[in-house]
């Protein structure tokens, strides 16, 4: 039973890393003006580059695990949110306000859903698929 739960913990942990990374990058970006970014503050992103790359890999692993563990609906919703976030980020569809809103919604949603799993739902009950 514990090995089954670890799969879910790992999947939710992947999405938690992605959500926290997106929110921290939004906060970092908001703390500087455009003039400061062009003046060299963008070099901070080089420091966070390993975290950004790890979050990208974690997102792909989380999506793959969500497809594998398809019976658990919140994981499937997180995978759908991630696919929509990736699609919107790559196509850059819409205004800058829409892009910022999608990033904030994804970061907050992924962090909240993953945090809810670790803080409340994991202790209360296990998904039916884990009890196999």
Cβ-based burial of 36 (10 A; exposed 0-12, middle 13-18, buried ≥19): exposed
User: pTM, whole model, 2 decimals?
Assistant: 0.84
Confidence of residue 127 (pLDDT cuts 50, 70, 90): low
Alpha helical stretches, state H, 1-132: 2-30, 34-38, 44-47, 49-68, 73-91, 96-116, 122-124
Q: Which residue has the tokens 């997106």?
A: 22
As a whole-number percent, the residues of the chain with pLDDT over 70 amount to: 90
Tokens representing 68 are 């594998």
pLDDT digit string, tens, across residues 24-44: 989 888 887 777 777 776 777
Q: At what angle do helices 49-68 and 2-30 cross, to 10 degrees?
A: 140
């Amino acid at each position: 039973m514990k090995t089954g739960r670890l799969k879910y913990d790992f999947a939710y942990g992947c999405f938690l890393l992605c959500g926290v990374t997106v929110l921290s990058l939004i906060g970092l970006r908001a703390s500087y003006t455009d003039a400061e970014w062009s003046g060299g503050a963008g070099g901070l992103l080089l420091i966070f580059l390993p975290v950004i790359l790890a979050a990208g890999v974690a997102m792909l692993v989380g999506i793959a695990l969500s497809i594998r563990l398809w019976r658990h609906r919140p994981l499937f919703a997180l995978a759908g949110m991630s696919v929509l976030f990736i699609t919107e980020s790559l196509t850059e569809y819409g205004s800058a306000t829409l892009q910022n809103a999608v990033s904030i919604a994804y970061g907050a949603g992924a962090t909240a859903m993953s945090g809810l799993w670790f803080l409340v739902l994991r202790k209360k009950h296990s998904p039916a698929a884990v009890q196999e």
